[in-house]
Amino acid sequence: MADQYAHSGDNKRPTGMPALRWEEPPEGPVLVLLDQTRLPAEEVELVCTDAPALVEAIRSLAVRGAPLLGVAGAYGVALAAVRGYDVDDAAAALESARPTAVNLAVGVRRAHSAYRAVVDGGGDPRQAAGAALAAARQLHQEDAEASARMAVHGLALLDELMPGGGHRILTHCNTGSLVSGGEGTAFAVALAAHRAGRLRRLWVDETRPLLQGARLTAYEAARSGMAYTLLTDNAAGSLFAAGEVDAVLVGADRIAADGSVANKVGSYPLAVLARYHHVPFIVVAPVTTVDPSTPDGASIEVEQRPGHEVTEITAPQVPVAGAEAGGGIPVAPLGTTAYNPAFDVTPPELVTAVVTEEGVVSPVTTEALAALCARSRQVTIS
């Protein structure tokens, strides 16, 4: 189950509330989520006490973003273990909550493996629960550290590609602290450029239909004080044509062994525009997003979401995501069917570089990614 606690929407605070945190009140451990479907109008926290509540929060995008899904999934396994629920069932439900972001499976399996290792070794359930929680906390910390290291590598790459600073970056969807235990992936690079005085403008794609850019990236950019401008997704082409984009920075939900990148729908057209206009298309993602067990882009399962997310418009206060009709304002005739893939896949030849906490991969090849994974602590999922 999940309870909701509203907070004042004080948009002037320098930093937002954490996207998630583990708490241990007297009535029992909980996972507290900042409900991202209510931003930017309201800062509402969801308090999850079991895996089904977290599964629903993941499916409705109350908690979202590949790296954070991994952290949330790991804590979800720990929550089931600490509260005495069936941990194997919880792990299976959490792992299948959304299919595309590989980090979710990585995080769930990491905590579940820690739990099973103790149980299968004859340890008691309390010890096993402690091992799952320790694994979740470690993943949370590793993600925060990875975010900081990606920001350093990413800014160095921007400075190398475009000496002199004044970077005009276009970004798509949301890749800041709302998707990470730290300051994010692609947005963390833009933030580092801003703090170094080398970000001239962040162009923010609104990112239809769920508006992660308009609602969440603008929310984070406003807090940071950086110069940013929102645009409709279909206006990006004219920005490239006007020579207003120096680089594209996006995140990723799964990077296949051949370097194909699954990311928010609309990323592939940006990669094509970037190639046509000779602009670097840079993917920023932790190594946990690289999945050696997925051979190529065609093997990536792209999540198909409910049509009402396209056929309805709603205010941020009324969640639009989810399996049932969102209760929004129809913008198409009732009964209109909609094509609503949550992601698309960019082939490696259109990706200038992949920035990870272990460094920059460019060109993006199967061999270079395999060497990256070999260098990293990453647990490959079989």
| Residue number closest to ligand LNRAV4D5, CB atom | 251
Q: Does 253 participate in catalysis according to the annotation?
A: yes
Binding residues for ligand LNRAV4D5, rule CB under 6 A, total 15
Sort strands 281-284 and 247-250 into parallel, antiparallel or unpaired.
Answer: parallel
Count of Cβ atoms closer than 10 Å to residue 292 Cβ: 18
CA distance 81 to 90: 9
Token duo for residue 351: 């990706």
Q: Is 66 annotated as a binding residue?
A: yes
**Range 133-152, binding ligand LNRAV4D5 (CB under 6 A):** none
Element (H, E) at 361: strand 359-361
* Annotated binding residue 36: no
Q: The tokens 């299976």 sit on which residue? A: 92
Smallest gap from residue 352 Cβ to ligand LNRAV4D5 (A): 16
**Residue from 143, 205, 246, 253 carrying the catalytic annotation:** 253
Q: Is 64 annotated as a binding residue?
A: yes
Structure tokens of 382?
């079989």
Token pair listed for 133: 């929680």
Pick the binder of ligand LNRAV4D5 from 97, 139, 179, 221 (CB under 6 A): 179
Q: Pattern of binders to ligand LNRAV4D5 over 322-361, x per CB under 6 A?
A: --------------------x-------------------
215 binds ligand LNRAV4D5 (CB under 6 A): no
In the complex, minimum distance from the CB of residue 178 to ligand LNRAV4D5, in angstroms, rounded to a whole number: 9
Neighbour tally for 167: CB within 10 Å? 24
> Which of 37, 171, 177, 185: binder of ligand LNRAV4D5 (CB under 6 A)?
185
- The H-or-E segment that residue 129 falls in is helix 125-161
Question: Restricting to residues 4-63, which ones interact with ligand LNRAV4D5 according to CB under 6 A?
Answer: none
Binding flag, residue 249, ligand LNRAV4D5 (CB under 6 A): no
List all residues 6 or more positions away from 351 whose beta carbon is below 8 Å from its beta carbon: 259, 261, 271, 281, 282, 283, 364
The β-bridge partners of 45 are 5, 34
Please choose, from the candidates 227, 249, 228, 243, the residue with its C-alpha nearest in 3D space to the C-alpha of residue 172: 249
DSSP 180-212: SSSS-SHHHHHHHHHHTT-EEEEEEE--TTTTH
**What's the distance, CA 192 to chain centroid?**
18
253 forms part of the interface with ligand LNRAV4D5 (CB under 6 A): yes
The residue among 16 and 65 lying less far from ligand LNRAV4D5, judged by its C-beta, is 65
When the beta carbons of 65 and 306 are compared against ligand LNRAV4D5, the nearer one is 65
Distance between CA atoms of residues 40 and 23, nearest Å: 24
**Which one, 65 or 280, has the nearer CB to ligand LNRAV4D5?**
65
- Per CB under 6 A, the list member of 110, 208, 215, 264 interacting with ligand LNRAV4D5 is 264
Annotated binding-site residue? 98? yes
CA–CA separation, 199 vs 166, rounded Å? 5
Q: Which is nearer to ligand LNRAV4D5, 140 or 264 (CB)?
A: 264
Q: Give the phi and the psi of residue 74 in degrees, each rounded to 5.
A: -65, -45
**Chain residues 54-93 in contact with ligand LNRAV4D5, contact rule CB under 6 A:** 64-67
Angle between helices 102-120 and 125-161 (to 10 degrees): 150
Q: By the criterion CB under 6 A, which residues form the site for ligand LNRAV4D5?
A: 64-67, 173, 175, 179, 185, 212, 250-251, 253, 263-264, 342
Give the active site residues.
253
Question: Can you say which residues are annotated as belonging to the binding site?
Answer: 64-66, 98, 212, 263-264
